[in-house]
Amino acid sequence: MSARAGWSATQIGYCSNVHPARDVAGLRASIVEHFQGVRRQRGLALQDSGLWISAQAAAELQTPTVREAFFELLRDCGLRLTSLNGFPYGQFHQGAVKAEVYRPTWAEPQRLEYSLQLAHLLAAALPVDCTQGVISSVPLGYAATWNQAQQQKAEAQLRQLTAELASLHRHSGKKIILCLEMEPDCVLENTDQAIAFFQHWHATDPHHSYLALCFDVCHQAVVFEDCYQSLQRLLQAHIPVGKIQLSNALICHLPFSDRQRREQVLQALGNFAEATYLHQVKARNIDGQLLAWADLPAALQALEPTQEQCAELRVHFHVPLFSEQLLLAELCGSQQALQQTFDFLAQHPHFQPVLEVETYSWNVLPEVLRPDSQQGLLQGIAAELHWVEKQLRQRHLLRLQATSLESPAHVL
């Protein structure tokens, strides 16, 4: 194992889209109250970010005085800005977000403007010992409303983006990479689609090294991918992965023979149906056919009156990483997918993307599982980060001390 292999505790951050932050004022409050609170619970002097900056906040931060005051706050709170979540554009907590989270798509000019604002912010905020940062973004758009004209517009805008990122790199010495995040029911949903897109991209964009993948473990588990094999295929195809979002999908095992128990399980699963986020559902029937529903209520409605022979449902609901059983024995997390991911990292020590916990749905968990206070939420997030450290330590991937150079990602 090379001297650089692994991650320090400082480099293991979490995504702040779990915290409402509409504007710069909300973002500042979140950093002081939430990020700093989690960092202190972990006993760290510094903690890398997975900061989500909304479009409104990004626009406000274009004002030099506002930006400099924000950077000063980051330093004061021990937050190293090395990664951003540029997926949600606007409100992510109020009202029904659902499929609106994919708007604007990469075919719309607002997505390009927003992403470039984030890139310039991140380049200016990177610590002096970091030369590279990553931003996760929408996987082009939502497949149900996508067409070839949108695909062409999206690719044209992404070429504008990579050209600008190359220019930013030349002038600042900081390389910012945009990472498209595969997600169920989106244009880029699975590894086959990602490989096809990036092979096309590498052949057509002279600045292709500024575009990579964000690999979300929950998302790939929902579409029944083996995460070790998926990462292996991406590596073999020379598809760059800039960020891995460590997340845990909800899995439901449905009994066939016991109708009463089946109804109890479906009733318990119904406690996860909520009005804010989209919770795509995938299943395989006894013939191996992949079944899909756009949201959990649709899946429940389809399954309750039938005896559809689905032994297992996989739900796009980010449950806490350490969750093994939820409400009933038949409801659990996709921790096997997380283990596959950590095992891949252990077997490929030269592969060191940003690692970031992303459990944005703490506040919409069933009431019995939901933190009952702000302090309880921060304790839960800290527990997730400690769980990740344990997984890395078991595989000799947790560096005990930070090195002098803490670059956030080595995209391969």
- The pLDDT of 192-206, averaged and rounded, is 98
Reported confidence tier of residue 156, pLDDT bands at 50, 70, 90: very high
Residue 277 inside a domain? The answer is: no
The pLDDT tens digits for 323-377 are 989 999 999 999 999 999 999 999 999 999 999 999 999 999 999 999 999 999 9
Task: Enter the pTM of the model.
Answer: 0.95
180 beta partners: 137, 213
Flag whether 318 is in a domain.
Answer: no
18 in a structural domain: yes
177 in helix, strand or coil? strand
Listed residue (50, 144, 149) closest to 106, CA to CA: 149
Q: Could you tell me if residue 193 is inside a domain?
A: yes
Residue 111 CA to residue 109 CA, distance in Å, equals 5
Q: Comparing C-alpha atoms, which of 336, 329, 381, 343 is closest to residue 360?
A: 381
Could you tell me which of 33, 36, 52, 56 has the C-alpha nearest to residue 44? 36
Residue 289 domain flag? no
Q: Which backbone phi and psi does 37 adopt, to 5 degrees?
A: -65, -45
Domain residue limits at 342 = 7-248+334-399
pLDDT digits (tens, 9 = 90+) for 201-228: 999 999 999 999 999 999 999 999 999 9
Residue 288: per-residue pLDDT: 80
Q: Is residue 283 part of a domain?
A: no
Q: Is residue 117 part of a domain?
A: yes
Nearest in space to 212 (alpha carbons), one of 186, 174, 182: 182
Instruction: Report the share of the chain in percent with pLDDT over 70.
Output: 95
- Identify whether the C-beta of residue 213 lies closer than 8 Å to the C-beta of residue 198: yes
- Whether residue 382 lies inside any domain: the answer is yes
Total domains in the chain come to 1
Which CATH number does the domain housing residue 349 bear?
3.20.20.150
The per-residue DSSP string of 365-400 comes to S-TTTS-SSHHHHHHHHHHHHHHHHHHHHHTT-EES
